[in-house]
Amino acid sequence: MEKDNLRTEDARPHFYKIIYGEDIKQHMRIPPDFMKYLPQEMPNTATLTGPSGSHWRVSVKNDANGTYLQKGWKEFMKENKLGGNEFLTFRYDGNMLFYVKIFDPSGDKRQEPSVFGNRDGKQDRGGPKKRSVGSLDLHVLQFQGSEEGSGQSSRIGDKLFTSGTPHFMASMTKSNVENPFLLRIPQSFSAAAQFPPSKRKVVLRDSAGKAWDVICLHDKGGHYLSGGWRFFARCHNLKLGDVCKFELVNIDEIQVHVL
């Protein structure tokens, strides 16, 4: 997998979002590392194509915190009945055109939404159609490549990434990017990494190769990234809903990919 974006088998750039939290209901932030695929002179609008083939035109706005899809995004959310921890993949087709696949928390892929719009503002109605893509756990906080964190391929319909090492992925929640700045590590990852049931120091390494010392706490709920995680999150401008991949690369060393 590319460190800074997701690619499916057709090699076109992809990124993904988990629909969780209040912020993403108002606007959707494009991952910073994905910006290199977009025009330098950013257009004011983008077009989203949903599973039905219908289109939504949304405004694009830049501010100090990043680039967002804004006006029109709430309509896309509403008409596709989003807001319940769905998993979305965005395939970039060039010219600010994005094809969006929608997966329910159960792992079912939506073939068409129950209500969808078009350029004329009209709506077609019909029951949602789903296709099972396997027993995928789209947990709101994290999901893993395999039940035991053994480094098998993670799949959501198409192949999104392959990793030969234990890994997990986390969608940033309020407690991850604000006080108390804690990030829970899945127990299966802790077991694969052979973390003892005690406090320890781990190294987080970002995509630029910079290392960050972080304290890993342990209690009856498992292991948590604590002291030092606040600094890492702030230095990488992590926001609610951002997704990170955590990959074990050495003893007590974790590679972090901000996607």
Summarize pLDDT for 206-251 with one digit per residue, the tens: 988 899 999 999 888 789 999 999 999 999 999 888 888 898 888 8
115-155 pLDDT tens trace: 333 333 333 333 333 333 222 222 222 333 322 333 333 33
C-alpha distance from residue 41 to each of 44, 69, 96, 153, 203 (Å): 10, 16, 11, 37, 38
Least Cα distance to 225 among 157, 165, 177 occurs for 177
Beta-carbon contacts of residue 18 (< 8 Å; ≥ 6 apart): 85, 86, 87, 88, 138, 140, 171, 241, 243
pLDDT tops 80 at residue 178: yes
90-120 pLDDT tens trace: 999 888 999 998 888 767 777 653 333 333 3
Average pLDDT over residues 63-77: 91
Burial environment of residue 61 by CB neighbours within 10 A (0 to 12, 13 to 18, 19 or more): middle
120 phi/psi in degrees, rounded to 5: -85, 0
Average pLDDT over residues 160-164: 43
Q: State the pLDDT at residue 111.
A: 66
CA count, 13 A, side-chain hemisphere, 68: 20
CB 63 within 8 A of CB 70: no
Pairing of strands 97-103, 6-7: unpaired
Residue with tokens 């392959």: 162
> What's the whole-number average pLDDT of the chain?
75
With a pLDDT cut of 70, the percent of the chain lying above it is 75
What gap in Å lies between CA 25 and CA 19, rounded to an integer? 8
Q: State the pLDDT at residue 202.
A: 93
209 phi/psi in degrees, rounded to 5: 95, 0
Average pLDDT over residues 49-64: 88
What gap in Å lies between CA 153 and CA 8, rounded to an integer? 13
What's the one-letter identity of residue 172?
A: M
Beta-carbon contacts of residue 236 (< 8 Å; ≥ 6 apart): 206, 258
